[in-house]
A and B are shown apart, each in its own frame.
Chain A
């Protein structure tokens, strides 16, 4: 149990996917300034992460390793993720059309989100069992969503501030990320 908690905290905070591992940067910087969209995006990514990590873990444990074909891992994993995103996209469209419209193009883009493939690969490389893999995905996704939410709040405020013309938009977003990363360094003391 202790180990699971450590994995969770490490994935979510200490080695936060965005601020520490540089995974999932594209949606992070493209995130809208509305807190609600940022949270929706974060939760959608969390959902895909949980599904993807479980499925890829099963495939690796029961097919790739026993048959010694680990070299097809990259192709198989990305196809799994692409399919899961399609399925989740259709599910959201059928159940909650407002959410579907709010996420727009960002939904299919979750396929190329390095954080999703990243957590699946990390779970495989670290040799996690199924419970550890699920906890890792949970931590990674929640950490991702958390930073996304914080960033959207900050960007909202930034709009009202008056940075130098050359820094407006992306440059200052990067600098904000730097300070966020600095703040998150403090979590290192937790484990």
Chain B
């Protein structure tokens, strides 16, 4: 270890070390970035595949952030989008599948911060299955006149899910119709 460190030498050394570090990191980023993005795509693809068994491929409309699900023949068999609700413990991120422009195919919860044993039950199939085949326009909790039973003791989580799905679905459908009219 050299002693001293007077003058500008220490600063130069530190700058050199930082520069070399940046170069190495940029190289690593170059190598890994594609893989990392691909991993994220694979995740979505897997979730979509679970919802749409006949799915062969999908298209992603970036401007309106909507997935178009296609089967082997290239026909559109449905749509999917991400909905984010404000739950008790933060964001609830969901993947919502649509059979057509008015009916829901299925709902999968991607991530959430709800309380285990209460709000966390939104991931259980008995809850999400209720959305299968539901109409977007009529979507509501039973206590609000709809067909979705809330999780007892977790009304806020349940309502967050229902509200965000309905609002986002209505918006996506509207945007899709606008796009088709162009």
Q: Which residues of B sit under 8 angstroms from A127, Cβ to Cβ?
A: 91
B90 touches A126 (CB 8 A): yes
Q: Which of B46-101 contact A (CB under 8 A)?
A: 86, 88-91
Which residues of chain B come closer than 8 Å to A160, judged between CB atoms?
none
Q: Is A40 in the interface zone, CB < 8 Å from B?
A: no
Q: In whole angstroms, what is the CA distance A93 to B128 when docked?
A: 59
Cβ of B11 under 8 Å from chain A = no
List chain B residues, Cβ under 8 A from A10.
89
| B140 CB to nearest A CB, Å | 23
Task: Give every chain A residue within 8 A of B21 (Cβ-Cβ).
Answer: 75
**Contact segment of B1-9, B22-30, B130-138:** B22-30
A72-B22, A75-B21 given; A191·B29 CB < 8 A? no
Residues in A lying within 8 Å of B, measured CB to CB: 3, 6-7, 10, 71-72, 75, 126-127, 188, 191
Classify the secondary structure of A's interface with B.
helix
The answer to whether B167 has its CB under 8 Å from any CB of chain A is no
Nearest-neighbour CB distance to chain A for B55, whole angstroms, equals 29
Q: Is the CB of B28 within 8 A of A71?
A: yes
20 of the cross-chain contacts (CB-CB < 8 Å) are A3-B86, A3-B90, A6-B88, A6-B89, A6-B90, A7-B90, A10-B89, A71-B25, A71-B28, A71-B29, A72-B22, A72-B25, A75-B21, A75-B25, A126-B90, A127-B91, A188-B115, A191-B88, A191-B89, A191-B115
